[in-house]
Structure 1
Amino acid sequence: MYSKDEASQIQQAFWTAFGQYISPQLSADGLKVNWVNYKTGIKHLYFKMEADKRFATIGIVITHSDIGIQELFFEQFKELKAMFGSYLNEDWIWALHDKDEYGKIISRIYLQLDNVNIYNRNDWPQLISFFKPRIIALDEFWSMAQYSFESLK
């Protein structure tokens, strides 16, 4: 068992290593990007990668406090589901009005990898192999899809 401080240091070490590993990769638009803290350019809309001692997730998270606006964002993503699938090539979970770890209502489109542990350095290659191609594919999708969200900014 790790102290809170030790756990934080291990997480930071992983995300730093991941960031250094993926940093040479340019965005679909040919720009340098902070992959670990990806900016969509739209408030309350995030591409998140998370890992803990049981699983890892990557996804699109809609955090707007207005449930109706969350639904508008989610519906817009549903309109783009075929395009999303063409970039990601796998079935993701589409969850309207899910709850985050704090009980706040969010909506998200995500994929989960079970039985990995960020605190086990032996799992880091598997985590990197999970996150890297998917965050790149999300960026490629977003390069084309972001214009569909202009009216929701």
Structure 2
Amino acid sequence: MYSKEEASKLRQQFWITFGKYMKPILSAEGLPINWVNYKTGVKNVFFKMNAEQKYATISIAITHADFATRTLFFEQFIAFKNLFNDAINEQWEWEPNAVDEYGVTLSKISKTITHVTAFNQQDWPKIISFLKPRIIALDQFWTDVKPVFEDLG
């Protein structure tokens, strides 16, 4: 078991490594991008990646506090589900009313792998191989649909 400090350092080192690995890859628009802290440019819509003790996950989190607005955004993602599936090329979990680790209700579209840990460097290639193609595909998808979400805001 790791102390909080050790766990924090390992997690931080993983994300530094992932960031260095992704740095040469340009966005779908051909621009340099910070893949680790992906900015969607739309308020309350986030692309999140987590690598924890027993799993890694990538998700779209819709965090509007207003239920009706959050629902509207989630329904718009559903309207783009075929385009999303074509870009991602796999099935993700769609949760209109998920709860995050802080007890906050949000809408979430996500994919998770289990039996990996950010605390074991031998798992890092597997985690990176999981996250890399998915964040790149999300970026391509987002390039195509972002204007619609900007108009919803």
Q: In 1, Cα distance between the equivalents of 2:135 and 2:44?
A: 18
Matched residues in 2 for 1:136 and 1:17: separation? 17
Q: Secondary structure at the match of 1:103?
A: coil
Match of 1:31 in 2: 31
Q: Whole-Å Cα distance in 2 between the matches of residues 152 and 3 of structure 1?
A: 44
CA distance in 1, matches of 2:106, 2:118: 24
The aligned counterpart of 2:73 is 73
For 1:127, what is the secondary structure of its paired residue? helix
Q: Does 1:52 align with 2:52?
A: yes
Query: What is the Cα deviation at residue 150 of structure 1?
Result: 2.1
Amino acid in the other structure paired with 1:120: N
Cα root mean square deviation, aligned:
0.6
Q: Which amino acid aligns with 1:40?
A: T
Match of 1:10 in 2: 10
Matches within 5 A, 1:1-153: 1-153=1-153
Distance 2:52 2:16 in 1: 15
* Gaps in structure 1 of 5+ consecutive residues: none
In 1, distance between residues paired with 2:56 and 2:127? 7
Instruction: Calculate the TM-score normalised by the size of structure 2.
Output: 0.98
SS in 1 for 2:107: strand
Secondary structure class of the residue paired with 2:7: helix
Aligned partners of 2:85, 2:19: CA distance in 1, in Å?
26
Q: Percent identity?
A: 52
Offset of residue 91 of structure 1 = 0.3
C-alpha displacement of 1:146? 0.4
Q: CA deviation at 1:64?
A: 1.0
Structure 2 stretches lacking a partner, 5+ long: none
Q: May I ask how many residue pairs the two structures share in their alignment? A: 153
